[in-house]
Each structure stands twice: as C-alpha cells, then as structure tokens.
Structure 1
C-alpha cells in the first residue's frame, strides 16, 4: 500500500481537504462506464476514494465496488479488483516518489485495467497559491501538481510499462492485457453494428444478410449472438453462404467491403502510432477483416504504415482536405461537423484519431478543426449548433501533434463570443439540416450581411451588421427588423 499512511511518511499538505462531496459518478468513473471498462458484475476498487461517492453510485449500478482512503475510509477493503480507479489522487501528492509508488500500487491491484485521472495544466488560473516543489501549495495547504494531457499518458506508461490510451483529456486507461487495449481501440474506430432482432430461422438469415451487406463479408458463426447461432444450427456453412450470396445486394456488399477495408487500415495505422501488437492479439472481427480484404497481415500492415507516413506530407494532407466531400476548407484548416467526420478521407480520420489517443478527445464538442499548416487538432464545442442559426463557441480543446501539448480555451464567460456562419458547409450533403441552413445563408447574402466578413465573426459584430441591414433572426429565418 502507499498514500503515506502505509509508508510512514508525513503529509506536507492537507490532502483530505481536496476530497469533495458529489452526487452521482465523477467524470472519470462515468467515462469508464460509457467506454464499457466498468460493467455490471465487474469488481471495482476506488483507490483513494475520498468521501466514497463513486463507490456508492457504482454499487447502485450492480457493480461490486469498494473503496479505500487513508483519511475517510482507512478500514476499507484493499483487495485486487477487475478495475482500479485512481481519480484525482496523483495531483494532490506533493512527493514525486510517493506519487510514483501510489500509481504503481494501484496498477498492482488492477486485474484488468487501471483508470487514472488528474487535473490538467490549463486549470492553473483557478488555483491560487505559491509554487511548491513541482506544483502549487494553496492557502488551505492543499497541493496540486497539474499534468499536461499527453504528459499524464506518458507518465502512466512509464510507471506501468504498458501502452496506454487517453480516453478523454485528463483520463488515461492502462490495460493488463494487450487484447483489452486493442478491443477498446477497435470499438472507438468501428462502433458495433447491431444485429437485427431474430426469433426464427428466416429472420436470423435476414439478419446475417444485413450484417454481410454492412461488413462486406459473411460473418462467422462465432461472431453471431448466441441465440442466432442456435437458430441457424441446422444450416451448414456452405448453405448459409449460398443463401447470403443469392439474396444480398451486391452493390451494398461492395460498399461494405470498401468501408471495412478502410476501417481496418485506420485501425492498423492507429495501432502503429500507439505501438503495434501481434496479429493474435487483434479483436476477432479485425482478424477476420484482414483475412477477407487483404492478402496477408503483412500486406495490411504495410498499407497502414504508408497511410500513417502520409500524415507527415503537407501536400498530401492538403490534397485530402481539398478532395473531402464534407467540411469547410479555409486557408489554414478544414472544419467538419461531428455528424460528418466518418465521411472524411481516411487519412484525415487517422489525423483526428491520433490526437485523440495521444491526449484525449473531449466528451462535448460539435465541430472538428484540422490544420493543414502544421499538425494540430481542435475540438470546438458549439452547444446550440442544432437550434441556433449562428451558434456561439463555448470552448476549444487543441492538441498539437508535433509537440503533444494541449490547451483549452473557454469562452463561457466571454461577453463577445465567436460564432458560426454558413452552417450547411460543415455538414454532409444529405444531412437533414442542410436545406434550412442553405436557405438562411442565401437570405443573408441577399440582404448584404456578408458584405463585411471581417466584422461578423463575433456576437457584437454580427449584431451590428444585422442592425445595419435592418434584419433580425427568427429561428432559421431572416426577417425585417421592426
């Protein structure tokens, strides 16, 4: 054990004061639930649990959760668990050696995975105090060592000795088995395709046909839900293949194969960015896709390697942005709405995923920004994108891929926030919101509202132009100002 109580060291700060009371799950615990790292029936140890809010919330979700804290729960059970939470603990430890021992002890207690979270460097302005060691000592004698998002991932990798993944800014997952890490990455890149409900052999065959059209290949028996495998048990593999080939839409099969091929390349390229493992560690569906769409694993890896190398080629990345069927291209970057990012060229999807793995993708964002001058990814949060004809920017989270430095700019308290125009340009052509956004843009152009583009990028400038042109907005309609 560690956290000082077990090492006999004396605390130099009032760590107990950093434990806050909350209702419901903390952000890291909620992220672990969303990412299926914590599921009903699993065991969880909250190491340094503070007042124990996460333990209570997880227990109510049928999770075998327990907690230990040197101050609030010193008699808590300190036993190995499937998942260990180490949330906002490392940043309050003023001794670097004890900080490292604490992380190592938490890793030793984890059977499957470790979830580590800390406060980040951009929160420095919220903390009032004097420099102390490698952090800040506040007037309440609480200590904070603030991590950079990519620094946290590197630190956890160094201590645990395994490759880690940034689940979100300030949240890192470390896995005991490489197969678990790869399965997590695969779910992020290729979300699970739901099987159609089946209660008889005919509907089960229809579901297999649907899966075949979406994947571009006939699924194997071991990929099917258990009940469906039972419904099809009377058919031989060759009979099932014949039924699918005779009934499936060949064009959909071809499109599914193209999509699966690109997704596999994306996964393998990202895995190289994060450190590639052996073929046997890949999730089953990835192994089957490699066998179906490539001549060998070696060929698939070579193509993926070339794809990753293309990220370094400015002209290639710029060409991909110009060729993209979605997004708004400016002299410095491509902007794409969240709903359209899967339609970007594969190298641009890889661009975004690399930044997300290195430093975390925020949970709340609306528009993706990819710079083609240098390599930097920004996730922009416009909370009212769907309802506001000119949504206001709430925050911008930026990852510089050259240095892996991150920054968060908040406009939440700004009196003159940046806003968007021509919303349809960020969406895919078949997005249901495009027609009304295009109509609004044409009305605004006709009214002369874009005559001074340098003025309309902020709330005040846009409102001044509306007044000048004697116009007002009613939802996504432009009307004369009364």
Structure 2
C-alpha cells in the first residue's frame, strides 16, 4: 500500500472467556472431531486453542504477534478467525488466505466482521477500510463480498455456515455431505444390545426413511448383530414388523427431502452422483428411476422459486405459518411442515448467507426473493414477543442486512402468535384463546398502530385492557386489584 502504516496488529486480538463464534459453529457442525487435527491460523492470544484442548481437540495455534515461534503445519481443519479484516495490505490479505487454504487438508473455516458492525468501529478511512484511534485496521465485509472473495482466492465453492462464517472444503464429497446434514434429517437409530433390539432398530429406521438401510448406513454394533442374516431374511423380518402406512408416509417424506437436497445442491453447485453421501445415493436408487430423473425433478422445483404465483399459492396452502400481504412468517418449530418449495426457499438463503445461530421466526417474502430470520428470545414467555434482531438476505443480489432493536427503544413485536406455529403445536390452544380475547376487545381495529411496543401499549390503554401473562384483563388505575379477566 502507498499509505504509511504503523499499527501493532496484536492490539486487535481480544481476550475471550468462551469459544469464539466461528469455533463454536464448527464444533456444533461436527467439523472439529477428535480424530482431526486443527490449526488456529492467526490465533491471537490463544483462547480458542486452550478451550478446544479442553474439549479434547488436537489443536495448535500460530500467530505472528503472540505465537511466532510455533511452526504452522498442515492440519485437517484450519481456522482463520477474524484475521482477514485486520490486514491492511490487500496483497498480504490474499497471501494469508492462500496460505491458510494450503495448510488445510479437509476444511478451511473463514470468518470476518461484517458491515453491520460499522457502528462499533470508529475510525478514519484508510485504504479499503478504517484506521481506528488505536492504530488498528478493520476491513468490514458484506456477506456476499466475503463469500465471493474466498471463492475467488481458493478456487473452491463455499458454504455459508452462519453470518460472517464460510466453510471451504477440499473434498467435494465433504461439501455435499455437509449440505445433506443441513437439509436431510439424519435417521435416529435406537440403541441395540442384542439381535432382537437390533431388529427393532432396523424396523424403526424403515418406518422413518421408507426403505431399508445399506450396511454402511448402520451403526457398527447393529451391523454386527445382523450380519448373520441374509438380505432376504432381513426384508421378511422388516415386512413382518413394520407398519405399512408409516413406510408409505416415510417414503413420501424422504422423496421430498431428496428433491429438496438436490435443488439446494444445484443452487450451490451440483456434483457427480458418486460424490453424494451414501444415504442420499440410496434414497435416489430407492425412490427415483435414475439420478438424471431425480435431478430433472429437483431442477423443476428450483425453477418454481422464480414463479411468484406458485410461491404465493404454496404459502396460501401451508398448514403452518402466518400469511400477511407481504410474507409468510413461520416459527422454527414448524419449518419442517411448510411446503417443500418454501423449505427450499429458506435453505437456499441459509446456504448463500448463513442462517444465524439465534432465530425464532423466518420471514419468507412474496416479492424480491428475500428471506429474514427474526430473533424473539422470549417467544414462549411473552404474549407478544419482542423482536431483538433481524438478519435478512436478498436472493437476487445475495446481499445481507442485519438490524438490532435495543431494549431501550420501541421494539417491533408479534401478534396472534399461534398463527406462526403448526396447528398441532401443543401451545396453540393457549395462544389462540388470548388472540380471540384481544379480537373481542377491539385491539386489532387499528393494525397500522400496533407494530411496535409503544403503539401496542397505546391501543391497550385505549381499550382499557392490560396483559397478565397470556391473559387479557381489564386495566386498573390503582395498585390494589389484579384486574378482571376477559373471557
């Protein structure tokens, strides 16, 4: 760079009492396994290294300021945690990413601070970033910029694991396997200690998946217990023990999940059949005439996302979610019950920009192909949940926007919260009773006024009502009484 630079980058390394968000995400995603070696490249003070060692991870850390004596070596997983954003020289920044990619034999995890954090970084413009008062540098990324930059430098497709965190896999099969785990639910195997319980576990699997498993899909203990039985004997025993109705329903569910996975895979780059996870390959063999036919059907599903009328119709027939003139809002507990094309809509957004770790309700926009995730930390406790933050992505530009709503302001809030859930959710009757009482009290006569805390409180006062948990009662002006319940 042409500008004079006099920064000690060590000042940007913060002390942590817990795992960083990127390390915690990689751990939750099953990428930091005991058998894998991990390198924290640019580890700062080494807090992630110490925490991961406490979790029995085989991890080393290197940092040019705090641990220059450690020689970085090839590792299965390399963590490049908030490093790119503190390097002021674009060429050095590129070399650092390239070196981290060279050191990773399985997975590179790249994280960077995003532009929505600009309010937290005070400084003057310097190069392509900011020079702070502490003489440190910050280049803040948009979610799309981070994704495109890492793809351009590494030459590999990336997957957004969370906002500001992307995964780059060395092996295409590993990338596809990671996407499969996010899209296709894993079958849960019953515990088995003898042949009879192993057979029960096998029957349960068939009722979950709609087909028998291959030997490599079974847990080792079950495979060993059933190894003495021929395939014909296994089929006969399953037919005797399994519920035909459950098998049919499971087959339909697995077929739709497979189409969903293949459509998401195409959105992020589709690979050959042999690279697919073994379970997905077996699903295709069981429920489709060929891989080509499965891909053709999934392609049609992906194309339907461009059809506004089709998406709108899917929203109208969805058994779960609250439909408004602009979007469908769905609680995370009900997300698996919306139509497949809408699940695809949400999954594509999550693969492109990363689904936040904390979210309660997803908002699927009718127009513009926009998906948002709203965080309402007290959804179940609060009769009208306050929205603490929103993270949204535009699927046309892949740009993401984050908004925080501090408690001291008049935060947006949700109404008629039973509508966000599926009809069979056990909390629906209680929430619905509150909504019916509020409708009778006239609280929804001015919907344009009740979208924020202040507006809602004004309408409660106008109607002479107040809330006691999930009960609506008459407002009392003195401190003596509880207020009378409105039935």
The question of a shared fold, defined as TM-score above 0.5 by the shorter chain, is answered with yes
Shift of 1:41: 3.1
The correspondence for 1:243, drawn from 231, 237, 243, is 237
What corresponds to 1:175 in structure 2? 169
Q: Determine helix, strand or coil for the equivalent of 2:99.
A: helix
Tell me which moved more, 229-238 or 390-399.
229-238
- Gaps in structure 1 of 5+ consecutive residues: 5-9
What corresponds to 1:293 in structure 2? 287
What corresponds to 1:445 in structure 2? 439
* Kept in 2: contact 1:41–1:62 (CA 8 A): no
The correspondence for 1:379, drawn from 352, 365, 373, is 373
Moved over 6 A (4+): none
> In angstroms, what is the RMSD of aligned CA positions?
1.4
The total of aligned residue pairs comes to: 475
What corresponds to 2:334 in structure 1? 340
Correspondence list, 1:106-117, <5 A? 106-117=100-111
The correspondence for 1:388, drawn from 382, 406, 425, is 382
> For the residues of structure 1 that align with 2:308 and 2:475, how far apart are their CA atoms?
47
TM-score by length of 2: 0.96
Post-superposition Cα deviations, 1:10-51, rounded to whole Å, max 9, x if no partner, equal 964331110001112100000000001112232110000000
The correspondence for 1:72, drawn from 58, 61, 66, is 66
* Kept in 2: contact 1:14–1:140 (CA 8 A): no
Q: Determine helix, strand or coil for the equivalent of 2:402.
A: strand
What corresponds to 1:405 in structure 2? 399
> For the residues of structure 1 that align with 2:444 and 2:324, how far apart are their CA atoms?
16
Correspondence list, 1:41-190, <5 A? 41-190=35-184
Q: Determine helix, strand or coil for the equivalent of 1:454.
A: helix
Shift of 1:153: 1.2
Q: Determine helix, strand or coil for the equivalent of 2:345.
A: helix
Shift of 1:150: 1.8
The correspondence for 1:282, drawn from 256, 268, 276, is 276
> For the residues of structure 2 that align with 1:196 and 1:113, how far apart are their CA atoms?
31
What corresponds to 2:216 in structure 1? 222
The correspondence for 2:296, drawn from 280, 289, 302, is 302
> For the residues of structure 2 that align with 1:432 and 1:351, how far apart are their CA atoms?
27
The correspondence for 1:20, drawn from 8, 14, 24, is 14
Tell me which moved more, 283-292 or 200-209.
200-209
What corresponds to 2:484 in structure 1? none
Shift of 1:233: 1.8
TM-score by length of 1: 0.97
Would you say 1:194 and 2:169 are equivalent positions? no
> For the residues of structure 2 that align with 1:220 and 1:275, how far apart are their CA atoms?
27
Would you say 1:326 and 2:292 are equivalent positions? no
> For the residues of structure 2 that align with 1:454 and 1:176, how far apart are their CA atoms?
51
> For the residues of structure 1 that align with 2:151 and 2:6, how far apart are their CA atoms?
27
> For the residues of structure 2 that align with 1:131 and 1:238, how far apart are their CA atoms?
72
What corresponds to 2:33 in structure 1? 39
Q: Determine helix, strand or coil for the equivalent of 2:107.
A: strand
> For the residues of structure 1 that align with 2:336 and 2:411, how far apart are their CA atoms?
29
